[in-house]
Amino acid sequence: MSSGTAVADTNWAKLRKRLGDRLVLPQDAGYDQLRLPYNHVYANRRPAAIARCVSPQDVQACLDFASHERIPIAARSGKHSYAGYSVPEHGLVADLGGMADVRVDGSSARVGAGARLIDVYEGIGGAGRALPAGSCGTVGIGGLTLGGGIGVIGRKYGLTCDHLTSARIVTPDGCHRTVSAHEEPDLFWALRGGGGGNFGIVTSFTFRTDPAPDLAVFSLQYPAGATADVFDAWQEWIATTPDELWSGCGITATGALSTIGFDGTYVGQAKDLHRLLDRMPPGGERTVREMTYLEAMRFFAGPADDPGTAFVASSRMLRHRVRGKRIAELVDGQRDGFLQLDSWGGALSRV
Ligand SMILES: Cc1cc2nc3c(=O)[nH]c(=O)nc-3n(C[C@H](O)[C@H](O)[C@H](O)COP(=O)(O)OP(=O)(O)OC[C@H]3O[C@@H](n4cnc5c(N)ncnc54)[C@H](O)[C@@H]3O)c2cc1C
């Protein structure tokens, strides 16, 4: 979201009057730590200020200020933007980390826009409910929901944004609105996959949840040299597996022959998952564990204090099969690199 060009003589005192020490400027203690994005490729970005918002009124103050001073502004939820979009150079960061409440009320959950996925899972899963969302626990609910939200129970339950029933958003005119299928339906439509930072700053999301299912989580790892054949077999396999099964394929460069392996979840019992896995090629090392929904989300989440790393990544949808031989040729002999392919379909395709 851009309101114009940054100017050196921006009147920060005006915003500081409204936010106090929640406004952090480059000369303030903690600025350097606070500005860091997850992707360290953008670690040298220096926003003009970071506003640690704790209420919709703070967000309104930021948008109002950015619009009057004509400086760029970006919302920041979990900082995981691949391209550093939540840290605008010379702009204002509206950091939503202080708006991370998760409240469950029956089958509905209201989540502050700065919550990290692990907090969402603890809150919703802890209440015996489930929301399909991403795996990495430090990703923010803000960028994830606005971009769609894919995860390990998505084939059974759909995208995160499919479960959004309403959102509270501050639009660029400064209004704090509720959007839903009945109020501002066009804006509601745009928030379900239209991407972060395009239509205003969402302050909270309300989701429809499901009863938390029991899951079986698996790993299946093959020795080096099996990539081409196993990849072909996996593509055959996923075309016939039920919605309850999600699997992700990881192909890792080793400098010589690549390795191929799979992680996945099954909504159901281990014995039924074993029957499905028996149809994959022999020779893989298999582990299967039954877990509650919350245990499984913690398992996939990774460390809660993940400081981030430098990376370049991009994603594509493959709509047709790819020959395993071609995939192996791409990765075999490479010193570095990782190819991740997720199996979609199911509820994700039925929207
Ligand atoms: C390690 C890693 C693992 C990932 N795993 C998954 C996964 O399992 N599933 C999946 O679907 N995606 C995954 N992603 C992609 C992730 O969903 C996107 O990168 C997402 O945009 C990150 O959201 P964020 O809030 O953490 O990032 P931020 O950098 O805070 O925000 C991303 C964008 O959204 C905007 N934005 C954030 N909050 C708001 C708001 N409240 N209102 C308006 N705009 C907002 C920001 O301005 C920015 O443009 C992963 C990314 C990484 C780096």
Is there a contact between 57 and 75 (Cβ–Cβ < 8 Å)?
no
Q: Give yes or no for a contact between 130 and 294, defined as CB atoms under 8 angstroms apart.
A: no
The finding on whether 168 has its CB within 6 A of some atom of ligand 1 is no
Q: What is the pLDDT of residue 8?
A: 63
Assess whether pLDDT exceeds 50 at residue 103.
yes
The answer to whether residues 38 and 122 belong to one domain is: no
**Segments forming the whole domain that contains residue 318:** 214-349
- Same structural domain for residues 149 and 59? no
> Nearest C-alpha to atom 20 of ligand 1 is from which residue?
143
**Residue 77 CB less than 6 A away from ligand 1:** yes
Torsion of CA 123, 118, 317, 210, to 10 degrees: -20
Last residue of a domain, one of 38, 63, 95: 95
Say if ligand 1 is within 6 A of residue 197 CB.
yes
Centre of ligand 1 to C-alpha 270, Å, is: 32
Q: Is residue 7 part of a domain?
A: no
170 in the same domain as 119: yes
Q: 344 and 290 in one domain?
A: yes
User: Are 200 and 238 contained in the same domain?
Assistant: no
Which of 82, 86, 341 has most ligand 1 atoms within 8 Å of its beta carbon, as the pocket-test mutant? 86
Could you give the CA distance from residue 58 to residue 51 in angstroms, rounded to a whole number?
Answer: 8
Domain CATH for 225: 3.40.462.20
Residues 107 and 78 in one domain: no
In a domain, 3, yes or no: no
The answer on 144 and 259 residing in a single domain is no
4 pLDDT higher than 70? no
Handedness of CA 172, 173, 179, 183 (dihedral sign): negative
How many CB atoms sit inside 10 A of residue 126's CB? 12
CA 138 to centroid of ligand 1, rounded, Å = 10
Does 4 map to a domain?
Answer: no
Number of domains in the chain: 3
Looking at the domain assignment, is residue 69 inside a domain? yes
285 CA to centre of ligand 1 in angstroms: 33
Picking from 213, 215, 211, the residue whose alpha carbon sits closest to that of residue 296 is 215
* CATH for 73: 3.30.43.10
Q: Domain boundary residue among 211, 236, 257?
A: 211
pLDDT digits (tens, 9 = 90+) for 27-67: 999 999 999 999 999 999 999 999 999 999 999 999 999 99
- Are 220 and 342 found together in one domain? yes
Is residue 258 domain-shared with residue 185, that is, in the same domain?
A: no
CA of 47 to the centre of ligand 1 (A): 18
* Spatial distance between the Cα atoms of 263 and 305, rounded to a whole number of angstroms: 23
Label residue 226 left, alpha or beta by phi (over 0 means left) and psi (-120 to 50 means alpha).
alpha
Q: Are residues 275 and 171 in the same domain?
A: no
> CA dist 7 to 3, 21, 91, 107, 341, Å?
12, 22, 9, 47, 44
Same domain, 274 and 183: no
- The number of the ligand 1 atom at minimal distance from the alpha carbon of 195 is 34
pLDDT of residue 1: 54
Does 18 fall in a domain?
A: yes
Tokens 């919302």 belong to which residue? 75
Question: Is 80 close to ligand 1, i.e. is its CB under 6 Å away?
Answer: yes
Picking from 111-115, 236-240, 303-307, which range would have the lowest pLDDT averaged per residue? 303-307
Whether the CB of 49 sits within 6 Å of ligand 1: no
227 lies in the same domain as 343 = yes
| Rounded distance from Cα 140 to ligand 1 centre (Å) | 6
201 within domain boundaries = yes
| Assigned domain for 276 exists | yes
> In the block, which residue shows the tokens 């913690």?
298
Whose C-alpha lies nearest to ligand 1, atom 8? 134
- Looking at this predicted complex, what is its ipTM? 0.99
Instruction: Check if 137 has its Cβ closer than 6 Å to any atom of ligand 1.
Output: no
How many Cα neighbours within 13 Å face the side chain of 68? 12
Of 159, 188, 211, the residue at which a domain comes to its end is: 211
The yes-or-no verdict on residue 295 having pLDDT over 80 is yes
Is residue 5 a part of any domain in this protein? no
- Asked if residue 211 has pLDDT above 50, the reply is yes
Closest ligand 1 atom, CA of 148? Answer: 11
